[in-house]
Structure 1
Amino acid sequence: MSDATGTSTGAWGFTDDRGTGLTAARRPERVLAYVRAGAALLDLGVRPVAVYGSGHDGERLDPVKAGGLAAAGVPYLGPGRTLTEERIRELCGPGGIDLVADVTYDGKSPYALDEALAEGLGAPLVALSVGNELTLAAIVARFGELAGSLGAAGSATARGADAEAALRAAAGRSALRVLALSGAGPDQVHLARPEAWPELARLAELGVRLLDPGPGPGANWLTTDWEYALDLAPDLVLFDSRANATPPHAVPPGAHLTPWNPETPPSPQAVARSFQDLTVALEAPDV
């Protein structure tokens, strides 16, 4: 929970999902963010001054992960681990950085930027959890709390509820078996374990018939070959459409493909869009 929202002229405080209490003499206005966090904050009414990528990202902003960042003209600085204090100061201008917003999967470390780099910039680093220890609703709520502490007015909760209701209804009418995966070339594929992904876990709660890849190594993915994936006989394949993933090398006979972003921005708007897209896929007449 946040400590205090503060005001633009007063003290600011926030406790992130590592349990780290962060404070500043005034409410931060210039936010540098990991792409996923930045896209969510933008949806929630906070425009980052710049965003950076993860170790999976290249020198150009992945449009699948970008949300509304590119349209809003938010600069992309490249992968976070390649950045230096000098480059950030050069690209972010004389105003500097008041806050770094990242995500965490383990509740201990920021995912895409070294904390020492934020310390060198003199900016507190907020890391919000996107791992499976929280529900999707809780993750979205935490980003809403951070945006609120930064002065944002509110979020599109009604739209999210409508999208969930429509998806629940579509799932109730559908018998399709759904498999989420990330392609890794002709010899390898990563099959998502639904319970390890908050968004997939929510889909299952709403009645989507997600396939579990079964036992084997890997907490989030079962890494296997395409023959194994085909043997699961899904009717609908949610394929990782991020730039670091490869398109499906093999498609089960009769199966329908629809893109899936495992890093959907944790905002009500972005989650609603992803649910609406899946609703359309479940109701497609050729599936």
Structure 2
Amino acid sequence: MPRARVSPLTRRGLLAAGGAVGLAAALAACGDSGADDTDGTGGTKDGSGSGTGAAKSGPWSFTDDRGQTSKADGTPKNIVAFTGTAAALYDYGVEVKGVFGPTRRAKDGKPDVQAGDLDISKVEILGNVWGEFNVEKYAALAPDLLVTAMWIEDALWYVPDQSKDKIVKLNPNVVALRAAETTIPQAIQRHAELAESLGADLKDPKVRDAKARFEKAAERLRQAARSKPDITVLVGSASQDLFYVSLAKMSADTLYFQQLGVRFIEPEVNAQGFFEELSWENVGKYQADIIMMDNRSSALQPNTLASRPTWAQLPAVKAGQVVPRTTEPIFSYDKCAPILDDLAAAIENAKKAGRAS
């Protein structure tokens, strides 16, 4: 598949877009699966993907989504991971020693939405915000594997550029898994492959039940979109000064929803190609029936926007049809099934919203 040129993004812009950059357009053109893909999840016919490993004994290796292979004499035990990736591994039964990225909410100390079911009191938090990564604490954990997401080609999500070389020197076994240039099923498959290499049992009833729920939820969303083809959805993220409207095909979640038939507003994106920035005076440019709002702690939430007149006049807001968007999904069947169900329910219950004057 040909690779498109990726324009640089600012930190705020990248976060607003859900970090989604890269080849989503090419992905959409090529379809959701490759020639060897039999189930739409991105795995190969034998289920091996590109990761290999001996979970219980003997040498371990895994080839990540950069094409780089990590190797060890035995299965890694001292694992450090980006919080959302750690949460996905946890859902397959793989626990980590340390995490970095949004983990604990600053306002109340409770787990961030990206922590999933992690018990954050039992992991070493190396950094909680962008640019924060405690290298000394990392070294003290004697890590034998670091795992993170990859939103931009070859970039390690939430690993600071200024300390990356030192971090990699301490432990060269680094695995990066795509969070863009992919779809939810493909990303789940790759996280499952990594988890299996680390000792997870993908035949465990909990995993199989979660996969069945995911497949059922995907079909429900497909049917909901088919039954209400005139319902339009806007993908939004709010900051103090700007409202970002994202292009659906540029993120793993909304690209997949689009493939299932959901009809999205298509903004006039900026030169970077991923979203349009609107001032709050112009937030009424797009008249959607449903608004999916970025649920991360880095974004303003709908309850804080009620005092903004232009927000209050949006058709979807007046109709009570604003729903959360899990902008950075935890890529496990267990966590993604509710995302599909929630959007399906929103579409099933949606009515055509009146247009603002």
TM range (shorter): 0.7 to 0.9
How far did residue 285 of structure 1 move? 6.5
Give the fraction of aligned pairs with identical amino acids, expressed as a percent. 28
Q: Which residue of 1 aligns with 2:132?
A: 82
**8 Å contact kept, 1:2–1:146:** no
How far did residue 121 of structure 1 move? 3.1
| Corresponding position: 1:18 with 2:18 | no
How far did residue 117 of structure 1 move? 3.9
For structure 2, list consecutive stretches of 5 or more residues without a partner in the other structure.
1-48, 306-310, 353-357
How far did residue 212 of structure 1 move? 1.1
Q: Name whichever of 11-20 and 134-143 sits farther off.
A: 134-143
Q: Aligned partners of 1:216, 1:3: CA distance in 2, in Å?
A: 37
| Corresponding position: 1:177 with 2:227 | no
The 1:146–1:72 alpha-carbon spacing in structure 2 relative to 1, beyond 3 Å, is farther
Q: Aligned partners of 2:261, 2:53: CA distance in 1, in Å?
A: 37
Please give the per-residue CA displacement for 1:110-139, whole angstroms capped at 9, x wherever unaligned.
1111442433433511111111x2232221
**8 Å contact kept, 1:170–1:282:** yes
Q: Which residue of 1 aligns with 2:214?
A: 160
| Corresponding position: 1:97 with 2:143 | yes
| Corresponding position: 1:275 with 2:321 | no
How far did residue 231 of structure 1 move? 2.3
TM-score by length of 1: 0.88
How far did residue 190 of structure 1 move? 1.1
Which of residues 140, 143, 147 is equivalent to 2:195?
A: 147
Which of residues 101, 106, 113 is equivalent to 2:159?
A: 113
Please give the per-residue CA displacement for 1:139-165, whole angstroms capped at 9, x wherever unaligned.
111111111110111143222110101
Q: Name whichever of 197-206 and 217-226 sits farther off.
A: 217-226
**8 Å contact kept, 1:2–1:14:** yes
Matches within 5 A, 1:178-257: 178-185=233-240, 187-248=241-302, 249=305, 250-251=311-312, 252-253=314-315, 254-255=318-319, 256-257=321-322
**8 Å contact kept, 2:51–2:193:** no
SS of the residue aligned with 2:118?
coil
Q: Aligned partners of 2:216, 2:296: CA distance in 1, in Å?
A: 27
How far did residue 198 of structure 1 move? 1.5
How far did residue 228 of structure 1 move? 3.6
Please give the per-residue CA displacement for 1:60-95, whole angstroms capped at 9, x wherever unaligned.
6752211111378444332374223322345x4xxx
Q: Aligned partners of 2:85, 2:110: CA distance in 1, in Å?
A: 14
TM-score by length of 2: 0.71
**8 Å contact kept, 2:238–2:244:** yes
The 1:152–1:62 alpha-carbon spacing in structure 2 relative to 1, beyond 3 Å, is same
Q: Aligned partners of 1:202, 1:72: CA distance in 2, in Å?
A: 34
Q: Which residue of 2 aligns with 1:124?
A: 173
Q: Aligned partners of 1:120, 1:84: CA distance in 2, in Å?
A: 15
Q: Name whichever of 59-68 and 244-253 sits farther off.
A: 59-68
How far did residue 236 of structure 1 move? 0.8
SS of the residue aligned with 1:180?
strand
Matches within 5 A, 1:23-102: 23-53=71-101, 63-70=112-119, 73-79=122-128, 81-90=131-140, 92=141, 96-102=142-148
Please give the per-residue CA displacement for 1:28-66, whole angstroms capped at 9, x wherever unaligned.
122111011111111122112221106xx8696752211
Q: Aligned partners of 1:243, 1:215: CA distance in 2, in Å?
A: 24
User: Amino acid of the residue matched to residue 195 of structure 1?
Assistant: K
**8 Å contact kept, 2:237–2:293:** yes
Which of residues 129, 137, 153 is equivalent to 2:185?
A: 137
Q: Which residue of 2 aligns with 1:6?
A: 54
User: Amino acid of the residue matched to residue 86 of structure 1?
Assistant: E
Superposition RMSD in Å: 2.5
Q: Aligned partners of 1:47, 1:157: CA distance in 2, in Å?
A: 20
How far did residue 167 of structure 1 move? 1.2
How far did residue 227 of structure 1 move? 4.2
The 1:126–1:98 alpha-carbon spacing in structure 2 relative to 1, beyond 3 Å, is same
